[in-house]
Amino acid sequence: MNPDLALGTYRCRDVPQAAIHAVACGASWIDTAPNYHHGRAQAHLQPVFAGNRDLRVSTKVGFFTPDIATAAGDAGVLTPAEADSGHCLTHRYVAWQSRRNAAELGHTPDLVFVHNPEQAARPHDAIASAFTALEVEARAGRIGGYGVATWTGFEGAFSVADLLDIATRCGGPGHHLAAVQLPVSLVMLKPVAQALGGIGPLAEAIAAGLDTFASAPLHGGELPSMVTDELVHLIDPGSTPADAALRVTASAPGVKRILLGSGRAQHWEAAQRALALPPLSDKTLHEVIDVLGA
């Protein structure tokens, strides 16, 4: 089954417009965070959810803007030292931020991702603190479940097995750990290479029944200008560089959702067409990895 397209709002310049195009192309999921778009992404999405109640949403806890730090300090959930760090995963802050996210969105989050826990001095302890708070939120029905969104965490800070172990310790066998998010692209090919061998975070997440989100499939919009004609020909002769790059991400075993951050209708339409094509063969993916390295 081909992965679904979802809107990722990290580098979106016009979040509401991007959401309109995403929904028009069949996207049913939006991924956001309280620190995206200078702290305004969630508020900008509130009218979108009001008009599309079936849309699902994932948000995050961890990073915060100066305005959020001030509000959290006033609420007594961030110390001055924590506020200065720009990132916090303490139990009290995570609970407060999760509820603030829901209020800003005007929508119950389907998922709350623990955002880049590799930033913490002791990642496992930080994850446990966040999971403990999010278990309370999930059991109270204030969120659907939780996960971990990471950039480099699976490079040694933790594994999917570690996350499952921590979730079980925090929430028992009925824990609400539901998803992982990580970069998968022509720039970040290691997860693809691992998945082809049946190992790594994508394979482990699927085996555990977790949802998987591929972030930065076009590396912040930089990839199309980096892809050579020779690479396009290897991946999918006649396609555009953006389509070729998306097809590699979409063909990675275990990817269920791909986060696209464009605000242009033509980009969504092209991505929709690219993801409707059959997955690339394992042979082609191996050849791409041989050319670029993992």
The amino acid occupying position 57 is: V
Residues 28 and 4 sit within 8 Å (Cβ to Cβ): yes
* Banded model confidence at residue 219, pLDDT cuts 50, 70, 90: very high
Distances (CA, A) of 78 to 32, 97, 116, 241: 22, 11, 18, 45
- Reduced to 3 states, what is the DSSP secondary structure of residue 269? helix
The average pLDDT across 241-250 equals 97
Distances (CA, A) of 267 to 20, 25, 109, 262: 13, 10, 27, 7
Q: What does the pLDDT read at residue 29?
A: 98
Evaluate the CA torsion angle 253, 219, 22, 244 in order and state its sign.
Answer: negative
Q: What does the pLDDT read at residue 13?
A: 86
The average pLDDT across 181-204 equals 98
Q: What does the pLDDT read at residue 220?
A: 87
Per domain, the residue ranges of the chain are: 4-292
| pLDDT of residue 28 exceeding 90 | yes
Helix, strand and coil in the chain, % to nearest 5: 50, 15, 35
Query: What's the pTM?
Result: 0.97
Which among 245, 225, 239, 218 has a CA at the least distance from the CA of 12? Answer: 218
Q: What does the pLDDT read at residue 294?
A: 75
Tokens of 57: 């949403």
Tokens of 9: 């709002």
| pLDDT of residue 6 exceeding 80 | yes
The amino acid occupying position 48 is: V
What's the mean pLDDT when you consider all of the chain? 96
Query: CATH second-level architecture of 4-292?
Result: Alpha-Beta Barrel (3.20)
Please write the tens of the pLDDT for every residue from 102-159.
Answer: 999 999 999 999 999 999 999 999 999 999 999 999 999 999 999 999 999 999 999 9
Please write the tens of the pLDDT for every residue from 38-69.
Answer: 999 999 999 999 988 899 999 999 999 999 99
Q: What does the pLDDT read at residue 51?
A: 87
Q: What span, in angstroms and rounded, lies between the C-alpha atoms of 177 and 147? A: 5
Q: What does the pLDDT read at residue 53?
A: 86
Q: What does the pLDDT read at residue 135?
A: 98
Q: What span, in angstroms and rounded, lies between the C-alpha atoms of 184 and 10? A: 15
